[in-house]
């Protein structure tokens, strides 16, 4: 079944109302009819199985048949700091896939080697709104109950100062021994009872040595994804995907 986003205020007891762009998509694009079953989600974790009971010119009224909370969400909170990329389509691809994987927060980061801009104020509100729509669309496609939080773009120094995460990882391909770099698989084997993880993914060309040093000073562990040089968006998807699967298997083994 297809999923549609509704504002929490549009859920009243056992009734829900789909309006705005979602109503247009439901009626004009997918041509849903009265009597059909759909999923509804409010972005905060609640997801409903509902039956369309009435369609007017402005909204679709639905009867809520079943309500679930945080269905399919990971037990660990994964946040990804993704450096902006020269090719906007690659950055948007990362947003889409990170949402599908189950990431809770996505933080656009401006690093030394980012070509797009060095100032967060240069990122237009229209572009950020487009990113939010991509994330929402990915939630609908993957039947997620929770919409990942998209942070405002930040500079690298502000990003590494975030403190609420229990573990912070920066991915780097350097062979410098002083960094005590470990493979992601070996790193995860030593994690126990972790509730939140922050990942740092660099732009084309990766992080500078100075940025790595600053991150380590701020509590980041340096981790490798292997000997191949991956594209930035690939690194995001692989790292978040491996970590999410690790914690899913850990939960099953409890």
Residue-wise pLDDT for 83-126, tens only, equals: 999 999 999 999 999 999 999 999 999 999 998 888 888 999 99
CA distance linking residue 175 with residue 240, whole number of Å: 22
Q: Are residues 49 and 110 in the same domain?
A: no
Count the helix, strand and coil residues of the chain and give each as a percent rounded to the nearest 5: 35, 30, 35
CATH number at residue 233: 3.40.1280.10
The yes-or-no verdict on residue 249 having pLDDT over 90 is no
Query: What's the order of all strands across the beta sheet hosting 59-69?
Result: 3-5, 37-41, 46-55, 59-69, 15-19, 11-12
Residues 45 and 87 in one domain: no
Q: What is the CATH number of the domain that holds 16?
A: 2.40.240.20
- Percent of the chain past pLDDT 70, that is, above it, reads 95
- What's the pTM value of the predicted model, to 2 decimals? 0.86
Question: For residue 1, what pLDDT is reported?
Answer: 84
Tens-place pLDDT, residues 26-68: 998 999 999 999 999 988 889 899 999 999 999 999 999 999 8
Q: Are residues 98 and 224 in the same domain?
A: yes
Residue 254 has pLDDT above 50, yes or no: no
All residues at 6 or more sequence positions from 45 whose CB lies less than 8 Å from its CB, including other chains: 69, 70, 73, 145, 146
Domain encompassing residue 47:
3-69
Residue finishing a domain among 69, 97, 118: 69
Mean pLDDT value of segment 217-243: 92
The pair phi, psi for residue 94, each rounded to 5°, is -65, -45
Same domain, 44 and 146: no
Q: What is the distance between the alpha carbons of residues 54 and 72, in angstroms, rounded to a whole number? A: 29
pLDDT band for 227, please (50, 70, 90 cuts).
confident
Residues 137 and 223 in one domain: yes
**Confidence band for 253, pLDDT divided at 50, 70 and 90:** very low
- Looking at the fold, whether 143 and 194 belong to one and the same domain comes out as yes
Mean pLDDT of 163-188: 81
pLDDT of residue 175: 57
């Amino acid at each position: 079944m297809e999923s549609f986003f509704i504002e929490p205020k549009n859920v009243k007891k056992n009734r829900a109302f789909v309006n705005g762009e979602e109503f247009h998509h439901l009626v004009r694009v997918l041509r849903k009819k009265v009597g059909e079953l759909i999923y509804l989600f409010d972005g905060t974790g609640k997801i409903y199985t509902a039956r369309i009971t009435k369609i007017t010119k402005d909204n679709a009224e639905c009867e809520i048949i079943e309500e679930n909370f945080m269905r399919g969400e990971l037990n660990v909170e994964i946040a990804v700091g993704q450096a902006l990329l020269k090719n906007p389509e690659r950055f948007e691809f990362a947003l889409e896939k990170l949402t599908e994987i189950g990431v809770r927060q996505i933080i656009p980061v401006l690093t030394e080697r980012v070509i797009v801009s060095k100032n967060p104020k240069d990122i237009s509100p229209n572009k950020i709104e487009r990113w939010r729509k991509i994330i929402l669309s990915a939630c609908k496609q993957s039947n997620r109950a929770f919409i990942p939080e998209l942070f405002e773009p930040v500079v690298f120094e502000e990003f590494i100062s975030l403190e609420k995460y229990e573990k912070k990882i920066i991915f780097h391909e350097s062979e410098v021994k002083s960094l005590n770099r470990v493979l992601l698989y070996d790193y995860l084997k030593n994690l126990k009872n972790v509730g939140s993880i922050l990942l740092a993914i660099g732009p084309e060309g990766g992080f500078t040595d100075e940025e790595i040093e600053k991150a380590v000073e701020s509590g980041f562990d340096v981790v490798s994804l292997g000997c191949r040089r991956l594209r930035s968006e690939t690194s995001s998807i692989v790292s978040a995907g491996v970590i999410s699967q690790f914690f899913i298997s850990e939960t099953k083994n409890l």
